[in-house]
Amino acid sequence: MTSADLNPDPRTDPRSDSLADAAYGMIRNRILDGVLGVGAPVSVLGLATDLEMSRSPVRYAVERLLSERLLRRVAGTIAVAAPDRYELLDSLAVRTQLEALAARLAAPRIDERTLEELVIVHDRFRSAVDNGDQDGARRADSDFHHAIQELAGNECLAESLERVRTQVILGAYSTAWVTSRGPAVLEHERVLRALEDQDGQAAEAAMIRHLDNLTTRITREWRAQDTAEDATTKRRSTPRAPGGGR
């Protein structure tokens, strides 16, 4: 399962209601897949040309993405949003509680087929981690959580989660943090075991632990980055000895 599976090409998807929805889906996928990088300027004309569409549906899609904070107006232009650290932490705090609820609701609904699908996604995640494929790991991780969200069977929860997860994905791109994915593999396995047992409370607890640990890993990486930057700044600002001796 890939982001394309979860968000099929609206131009060929019979469920798509209009060209505007098609434009929205394709632009959104490009943002979440990192094709349109954070901070990258976008224009209705440029997107319409790339998508081989007229400007009207693309303009609608851009306005919708602005309302969802995937795009932002910056100095008179429109660009892919670049959430800062505080915005990412806020999104993670909300996401933790929503995903925990999704895991609890999903547990009694899981069956042999859906469990097998989750295992396949998890195996793809583990393989990407083992091979150092950061983009592949990011996509598989997103697919794993999205599958649980869908399995929960709660439309209101899914809508709320979809919005907050997009902010987390953008934050991950924009802050350039690099954390060990190894622990996340084990944490996913704990969630899987709880779902296999159809134990809602255990699935909820495992998901909270996973996302709390993720937040800890992110903030630890930020501290390391800040320490390194402070040390570099200090070295650059330290006066040289008279005569510039070595």
Q: State the residue range of the domain holding 40.
A: 6-80
Cα separation of 93 and 113, whole Å?
A: 31
pLDDT at 221: 82
Q: What pLDDT is recorded for position 219?
A: 87
Q: What is the DSSP letter of 41?
A: E
pLDDT above 80: residue 234: no
pLDDT digits (tens, 9 = 90+) for 177-211: 455 678 899 999 999 999 999 999 999 999 999 99
- As a whole number of angstroms, the distance between CA 44 and CA 31 comes to 15
pTM: 0.75
- Closest to 159 in 3D by CA, of 245, 219, 98: 98
Q: Which phi and psi angles does 71 have, rounded to 5°? A: -120, 155
Instruction: Give the end of a domain, one of 41, 63, 80.
Output: 80
* 182, burial (CB in 10 Å: exposed 0-12, middle 13-18, buried 19+): exposed
Any domain includes 15: yes
**Separation CA 46–CA 143 (nearest Å):** 29
Kindly report, residue by residue over 105-158, the tens digit of the pLDDT. Answer: 999 999 999 999 999 999 999 999 999 888 788 889 889 999 999 999 999 999
The predicted-structure confidence for 208-231, as pLDDT tens digits, reads as follows: 999 999 888 888 888 888 888 887
Query: Are 150 and 98 part of one and the same domain?
Result: yes
Task: Quote the pLDDT of residue 243.
Answer: 59
**Residue after which a domain boundary falls, among 51, 80, 109:** 80
The first and second tokens of residue 106, run together, are 């999903």
pLDDT-derived band of residue 64, with 50, 70 and 90 as boundaries? very high
